[in-house]
Structure 1
């Protein structure tokens, strides 16, 4: 049988030419990346590697976009069921059941290469997702992109300024001023958004906690330095034994210096009501009242 050396990815026709039957292609030795694109499964194919291989079959102007771009840039989004790709408008747009294809006239600054993948920039991904996400989720994505250095406030403002009649641009422009590079996690971003949008004072991210000598001994996720109220989100990492011990010490220091610490977990951030209500009660107990803000 004639042997053909296959590239990293190949079509059904190339596989048949190499003597690989359809039955073999359907075995667990191979992974179908798309409708007619296969790769041999020597090792587990994770999402990033899958996208890298899929990129070999895309046109040169293609860039992964929307949730796929945000995922590559490590922003907190749910993985897209199908990869999203942006293409320059053309007379006949490629139609593929295994991709979500968007037409975009992208400037050079609207595309970047990250970890070997051509993706839309942080600013472009933020704009694209503005038409799909709730405002609080969009702020969480923007915070993560800003924190990781994938976008700057100036770059985002520039991109939104030329986004005329683009779906989601109104929401993007409303959310952009709320972004902060100091938010360390998605739940922190959600809590900050809900509090900023409430009638309570705007919280400060990463509030410094000082001891009696004025030394910074800790930082709170969110808080109000004037009223000495802090909000802390407890993620899974806080269940680690060593981390738990550090948290106990940190909370003791905060309490010893007069801070009231509200602790929240995953079950508390499903919506704004609980976070806003408990923060309101804490602030009221420390002397805040609506007229003061």
Structure 2
């Protein structure tokens, strides 16, 4: 008897496949009673599509699983997270983390042929488990990708009641920006916004002497001509390094003071805040308390 791409243990036995064969490299057990043939490589999205065939119609992937699929800077968990409408007995499965949520129509979307919690709902769910700086990085990414707007997150939080994480979500939502291009930029902006320094602007335009915009700084203070740049690993590439030299030369020629930060600087506030403070003071900024 021919088998479909995915099948149960009973179907496999009926087709004459032994347990030893199913444990071979051509087969992958996705869940307690769901096995697939590895004739073609299975990526995470395909794996979740197969797992979805085991779930009730009201199920939607959620939390870090939804965030990763929506392009947020989180790792997809080994055990996918799923939300179900509350019921007397909530189904459990060893291969899944199951949550009870009573969601409205706007709280679920279809993305890559999968039912997921919306960007705003995912942001709210993760607010219960992420520190605020990482939550801002997730929210920035969801806004940048168009999965969430200021209006949609505001609407979702307005009806969130007293759910776990809502206080953190409401505190972080006003900080979010679709202009942040990466997680490190979001972390840098979070440390500055929550300090006593002025709030930086993201993607600050840099002009040449003819007034043409020739570059953008990751973060900056146009009033004091201070820019902050994050240097990721891609900046070590020869071509990118050459482009960076041109950018920084243009910035300096325009009177900008450029602060450059690497990965080791952005995981806490000290380096970002104190170096920015010194740069701003050198350009004439004074703290209101001084």
TM-score normalised over the length of structure 2: 0.97
> Take 2:289 and 2:244, find their aligned partners in 1: how far apart are those partners?
32
Tell me the residue number matched to 1:124.
121
The one of 251, 256, 259 aligned to 1:259: 256
2:199 maps to 1:210: no
CA contact (8 A) 1:112 1:118 kept: yes
Tell me the residue number matched to 1:32.
29
The one of 150, 167, 176 aligned to 2:147: 150
Q: How does 1:217-228 map onto structure 2 within 5 Å?
A: 217-228=214-225
Tell me the residue number matched to 2:160.
163
> Take 1:292 and 1:195, find their aligned partners in 2: how far apart are those partners?
17
2:170 maps to 1:173: yes
CA contact (8 A) 2:9 2:35 kept: yes
Deviation (angstroms), 1:17: 0.9
> Take 1:164 and 1:270, find their aligned partners in 2: how far apart are those partners?
32
Q: Which moved more, 1:60-69 or 1:232-241?
A: 232-241
Q: Which moved more, 1:225-234 or 1:39-48?
A: 39-48
CA contact (8 A) 2:133 2:190 kept: yes
In structure 1, stretches of 5+ residues that fail to align are none
CA contact (8 A) 2:204 2:220 kept: yes
| Aligned alpha-carbon RMSD (Å) | 1.2
Aligned residue for 2:7, secondary structure, equals coil
CA offsets per residue over residues 3-29 of structure 1, 9 Å max, x none?
A: 2x2222111111111111001111111
Deviation (angstroms), 1:288: 1.2
CA offsets per residue over residues 217-253 of structure 1, 9 Å max, x none?
A: 1100001001111000111222222221111101110
Q: How does 1:1-293 map onto structure 2 within 5 Å?
A: 3=1, 5-291=2-288
CA contact (8 A) 2:187 2:267 kept: no
Deviation (angstroms), 1:292: 8.4
Aligned residue for 2:75, secondary structure, equals coil
> Take 1:126 and 1:134, find their aligned partners in 2: how far apart are those partners?
12
Runs of 4+ residues over 3 Å off in structure 1: none
CA contact (8 A) 2:204 2:218 kept: yes
> Take 2:57 and 2:278, find their aligned partners in 1: how far apart are those partners?
56
CA offsets per residue over residues 56-112 of structure 1, 9 Å max, x none?
A: 111111100000000110111122131000001112211111100001111111000
> Take 2:74 and 2:113, find their aligned partners in 1: how far apart are those partners?
20
Q: Which moved more, 1:150-159 or 1:44-53?
A: 44-53
CA offsets per residue over residues 106-145 of structure 1, 9 Å max, x none?
A: 1111000111111000000000000000001111111010
Deviation (angstroms), 1:192: 0.2
